[in-house]
Amino acid sequence: MSRVVYLHIGAPKTGTTYLQHRLSRNARALAKHDVFIPTRSPLVSPELFQFRAALDLLGQDWGGQPGHADGAWDQLVRRLRSKNGTSIVSHEILAPAPPEVIAKVMRDLDGCDVHVVYSARDLGRALPAAWQESIKQGRKWAYRRFLNRVEYGKPWFFRAFDLPTVLGNWSAGVAPERVHLVTVPQRGAEPGELFGRFCVAFGIDPDWAPLDSDRLNTSLGVAETQVIRQLNRRMDRATRREAEYDELIRELLAQDRLVHRTSPPVLLPPGRFEWATQQSDHWIEWVKGSGIQVVGDLDDLRPVPLADAEEYVNPDKVPARVVLGAAVDALSAMTREAAARPDPRRTFGARFRKFRERS
């Protein structure tokens, strides 16, 4: 039996969190069909292991302890080369990898039947989601500045979204029929449509992964995003503890308490639609001439303009009273969290008194 490796390289904000968690939850079921989701051990989730392997490959740490990912890529390669059948690796930070890193991947997987899978979403939805994600990760920039950087400066997110460049780099030396583009369906698609498209690209049956995932990475509204952004502006990123930020700001507020509020969504400004449409036309033209496999509809890559331009709410100019409501909800959530946690001073004092009593 041959060794087939599917490398899903992103892009971010295309359902990657959902996909990775669903594959992880169904790893045992998939293994019965000779489809493997590699991890280091039963105590380490495939998502975490593959993230560390991607970090190691790229020479990055993304705020973790220095050296926490060292050796993870070589461990992953050993597991991929030891399995007969199909293996799936997925992480979105791989998308903008430079050509020399991609060449190393192909050398390390020499002898395996390597397929590249890339999922893409129209910029009308991807850019608002990317700005929110950057705010969740601690960035402070205004929405307008972010969009200007995307259009003129090409920050990390846009390099990951730049379909022709990403697939042009990753398809070097890979036959077109082994490069698979999955388009993210537009709003209103049937439930399970995106996962079904991924399964087509991977050559697997969706029924082999019956356990669903609840990790949807729900978007925030304009008010809630501004609350997180203003918190970031008041925090010293150089000295804050990344673990505490992730636990309290990103997970507790941005991904739990504030997603249940309702404020206008973050949308692409009407004035940016012409540029976004030009990008999608360029993408579609490139794909049609590339010979790669398309799973889905290329029209999904075209941004859908607002039916009414008045629907747009500028995230940089949200009324203060609207932001105040979200801020009070955030403060309430933080207060409840603080009240539920043991006071380390009281805990130490109680232990000390018990020690004295025993002495």
User: In terms of domains, do 93 and 195 share one?
Assistant: yes
User: In terms of domains, do 202 and 282 share one?
Assistant: yes
User: In terms of domains, do 314 and 327 share one?
Assistant: yes
103-123 b/e with 16+ CB inside 10 Å = b? eebbebbeebebbbbbbbbbb
User: In terms of domains, do 18 and 77 share one?
Assistant: yes
User: How far apart, in whole angstroms, are the C-alpha atoms of residue 167 and residue 183?
Assistant: 14
- Quick one: pLDDT at residue 214? 85
The whole domain housing 185 covers 3-139+153-218+269-305
| DSSP 8-state class, residue 221 | B
In a domain, 88, yes or no: yes
- Quick one: pLDDT at residue 338? 81
User: In terms of domains, do 185 and 293 share one?
Assistant: yes
In a domain, 121, yes or no: yes
89 phi, psi to nearest 5 deg: -120, 135
User: How far apart, in whole angstroms, are the C-alpha atoms of residue 258 and residue 229?
Assistant: 13
84 CB burial (10 A radius; 0-12, 13-18, 19+) = exposed
Helix (H, G, I), strand (E, B) or coil at 265: strand
| DSSP 8-state class, residue 38 | -
Side-by-side strand order, sheet with 85-90: 35-36, 85-90, 3-8, 113-120, 179-183, 293-295
In a domain, 44, yes or no: yes
- Quick one: pLDDT at residue 325? 86
- Quick one: pLDDT at residue 63? 64
Q: Where are the beta strands (DSSP E) in 26-66?
A: 35-36
Q: Where are the beta strands (DSSP E) in the chain?
A: 3-8, 35-36, 85-90, 113-120, 179-183, 293-295
Instruction: Report whether 105 contacts 168 (CB < 8 A).
Output: no
User: In terms of domains, do 240 and 113 share one?
Assistant: no
Instruction: Report whether 259 contacts 333 (CB < 8 A).
Output: no
Residue 299 makes CB contacts below 8 A (sequence gap 6+) with none
User: In terms of domains, do 187 and 275 share one?
Assistant: yes
- Quick one: pLDDT at residue 347? 52
- Quick one: pLDDT at residue 348? 45
User: In terms of domains, do 196 and 235 share one?
Assistant: no
In a domain, 201, yes or no: yes
Q: Which long-range contacts (CB under 8 A, 24 or more apart) does 234-239 make?
A: 235/138, 237/138
Instruction: Report whether 42 contacts 92 (CB < 8 A).
Output: no
- Quick one: pLDDT at residue 241? 63
User: How far apart, in whole angstroms, are the C-alpha atoms of residue 111 and residue 96?
Assistant: 24
Quote the number of domains for the chain: 2
User: In terms of domains, do 18 and 130 share one?
Assistant: yes
User: In terms of domains, do 30 and 175 share one?
Assistant: yes
- Quick one: pLDDT at residue 33? 97
In a domain, 95, yes or no: yes
Query: Which residue reads 């991904």 in tokens?
Result: 255
- Quick one: pLDDT at residue 329? 84
- Quick one: pLDDT at residue 65? 74
In a domain, 148, yes or no: no
Tokens matching residue 285? 């033209």
User: How far apart, in whole angstroms, are the C-alpha atoms of residue 119 and residue 8?
Assistant: 8
User: In terms of domains, do 187 and 256 share one?
Assistant: no
Q: What is the CATH number of the domain that holds 277?
A: 3.40.50.300
Strands 179-183 and 293-295 come out as: parallel
User: In terms of domains, do 53 and 116 share one?
Assistant: yes
In a domain, 347, yes or no: no
- Quick one: pLDDT at residue 237? 60
In a domain, 346, yes or no: no
The DSSP line for 165-180 is HHHHHHTTTS-GGGEE
Tokens matching residue 165? 């460049």
User: How far apart, in whole angstroms, are the C-alpha atoms of residue 176 and residue 180?
Assistant: 8
pLDDT tens across the length of the chain (359 residues): 589 999 999 999 999 999 999 999 999 999 999 999 999 988 899 999 999 999 999 999 776 677 889 999 999 999 999 999 999 999 999 999 999 999 999 999 999 999 999 999 999 999 999 999 999 888 999 999 999 999 998 899 999 999 999 999 999 989 999 999 999 999 889 989 999 999 999 999 999 999 999 877 778 899 999 988 998 888 866 556 666 777 777 777 877 778 878 889 999 999 999 999 999 999 999 999 999 999 999 999 999 998 876 789 999 999 999 899 888 888 888 888 888 888 655 554 454 444 444 44
